[in-house]
Structure 1
């Protein structure tokens, strides 16, 4: 009887002791990659908006080169991971290669995200980096983005306000004999065609980046590009390979399965909403998803980099109008990111690394929305100066 009671006490202790070791190891891998990503994003000043703004204003392509180069590296590493680790990228979170080509979501969500990104002074990743550097404006933007993403993913907002009309703006590719939306499948090619397309696209992006950002004098920037792209590719290995499979098996044995498992890599749309949900359930470790760890890790990595480089300076806008633009823009980013199923990282790096057509349309829409908004802002500034 005493032995039975001792066994019962051990079982209860194990149940309340926290996370399964396999899941803990999985999340530790995610944390390491996220810290690396955040540090690299900080010291390279990784930002699509910053790159577009610099090129439109001074024809300086340096920051744009970092963004495009990271995509090129991500394509190479993700393709290698897919082949040599046998990772199935046709089943990801979110489903980048789905046969349901939701062009309405990609287009409308991307435009909304791009315009909001300009008003908020950055995308989610850039806002996390700026927060680590002491920007109160970026902190407010992150909070608003997270609340908006939470409303879109954890409440009935999307189902009631968006799904009834945006759900019809979609094409089922299987109806025309296309199993999924990666570029090779669209042209009816197999693994060889996929590899050739991936190599050609990566080479083009890296060549453009090299022209705008020569290696001489820019070694640190290129090191950051390598880290950013590699982190995305290894994210797929962690989640779809042995660590992710072990975590999934452990999760199935738990009373409360771990949320957010599945093959995936970095994106910061729905994950910001996951952070809000986790903060409401901090005593439930099953709510610690890939996205929650990624958000925390990127912030920590950026903070370490900023402290090492002495790049921390507390600042906040003084004008009420600037605060209002930040809140409105951040809300647009949060809603647009979930609507488009990705952001400048989720589609721009992770989605494009799978050669998904939807990610290409999304990132083009984001850039178009940002370009239009930047042009409007510049014209208003010019008119103000002329007046």
Structure 2
């Protein structure tokens, strides 16, 4: 069954949500089995190690870039149509929001995507932090925090649309794929060096593949849909807020975001049950709970200000070479490393992952 037949059979909105569900399932299964986590990678790096967490992160990033750039060269996707490229980007938002998000994910012991995966495996700490993140993101998007977000984001913008980093550097066609392959070579070197098994290789790559699947499905749907369909993929700032409102607003409609988040939950939950890794967990102490809650607030506001979370900017936006996504990713690393060195020196990077 092709996409047009599916749309004619069940409608555009249910098809969009179904594609989000499929993308989320792939992400949830892969992220749970690979223990993908940007926070853990930055903590390792801050401690002077290029360990297994860094290797997993590079495997994910390189896979996303290779698949997305390869699809573009084959005419199966056009990055210029991506929502992140079609709207103005914010340099100030990427810097300030990226730094806030990086600090917040260290304090919460997991980025927003990782918290969702952990919550699906019985981690009640992640449930609390994830809900605070979603509420703060919604407040930053449409609530009382939105004027402050708008003010900070408007300090420096890219213009009428975002900047393609490859075009800005006047690089030839195929440069994105070449860079993705270079990252893949580095990822494989680190994976071998850290004796990472083939299963982790596969599932870490699966996280990046989920990003490519989301881009491909929404772009293909946009080509046949009657109403405009945002071309998007995996991120957890906007989708967390939109999914929360879907269950609170009787007039909400089905969309990619509303399928994505439940897909991640189902995939991570089912995989943890099959692997015997589902366990109820809670906060270790009141200070840890307080710090995690503050970190979740920083992540919620920072993600909406930066235009995406560790996945939305760090993998999804980076795979189409949105300049503000790469800037936000860099600032997330800086914020996380600085926070680790200042307040998280004794924490185990594997605690949340």
Matched with 1:337 is: 303
Instruction: Tell whether 2:201 aligns with 1:235.
Output: no
Specify which of 150, 166, 170 is matched with residue 157 of structure 2: 170
Matched with 1:276 is: 244
Q: Is the CA contact 1:146–1:273 (under 8 Å) kept in the aligned structure 2?
A: yes
Structure 1 residue 309 displacement after superposition: 1.0
Q: Is the CA contact 1:133–1:306 (under 8 Å) kept in the aligned structure 2?
A: yes
Specify which of 36, 45, 63 is matched with residue 46 of structure 1: 36
Highest Rg: 1 or 2? 1
Specify which of 91, 95, 118 is matched with residue 130 of structure 1: 118
Superposed CA offset, 1:192-240 (max 9, x none): x131x21332122112211111297611011112322221112111111
Structure 1 residue 188 displacement after superposition: 3.3
Query: What is the number of equivalent residue pairs in this alignment?
Result: 338
Q: Is the CA contact 1:40–1:228 (under 8 Å) kept in the aligned structure 2?
A: yes
* Long gaps (5+) in structure 2: 1-8, 348-353
Specify which of 195, 205, 225 is matched with residue 204 of structure 2: 225
Matched with 2:6 is: none
Q: Is the CA contact 1:97–1:354 (under 8 Å) kept in the aligned structure 2?
A: no
Q: Is the CA contact 1:81–1:234 (under 8 Å) kept in the aligned structure 2?
A: no
Matched with 1:185 is: 167
Q: Is the CA contact 2:21–2:261 (under 8 Å) kept in the aligned structure 1?
A: no
Matched with 2:274 is: 308
Structure 1 residue 20 displacement after superposition: 4.4
Q: Is the CA contact 1:124–1:142 (under 8 Å) kept in the aligned structure 2?
A: yes
Residues in 1 aligned to 2:20 and 2:346: alpha-carbon distance in whole angstroms: 43
Q: Is the CA contact 2:318–2:326 (under 8 Å) kept in the aligned structure 1?
A: yes
Specify which of 86, 90, 95 is matched with residue 80 of structure 2: 90
Could you tell me the TM-score, scaled by structure 1's length?
0.81
Matched position secondary structure for 2:80: coil
Superposed CA offset, 1:320-372 (max 9, x none): 11111111110110000000001111011111110122111100000110001
Specify which of 312, 324, 328 is matched with residue 346 of structure 1: 312
Task: For 1:1-387, list aligned pairs within 5 A.
Answer: 20-57=10-47, 59=49, 61-93=51-83, 95-96=84-85, 100-158=88-146, 160-172=147-159, 181-189=163-171, 193-195=172-174, 197-214=175-192, 218-241=197-220, 243-246=221-224, 248-249=225-226, 251=227, 261-281=229-249, 283-284=250-251, 286=253, 288-379=254-345
Shift in alpha-carbon separation, 1:83–1:200, aligned structure 2, 3 A: closer
Residues in 2 aligned to 1:365 and 1:315: alpha-carbon distance in whole angstroms: 31
Could you tell me the TM-score, scaled by structure 2's length?
0.88
Q: Is the CA contact 2:20–2:258 (under 8 Å) kept in the aligned structure 1?
A: no
Structure 1 residue 162 displacement after superposition: 3.0
Shift in alpha-carbon separation, 1:330–1:349, aligned structure 2, 3 A: same
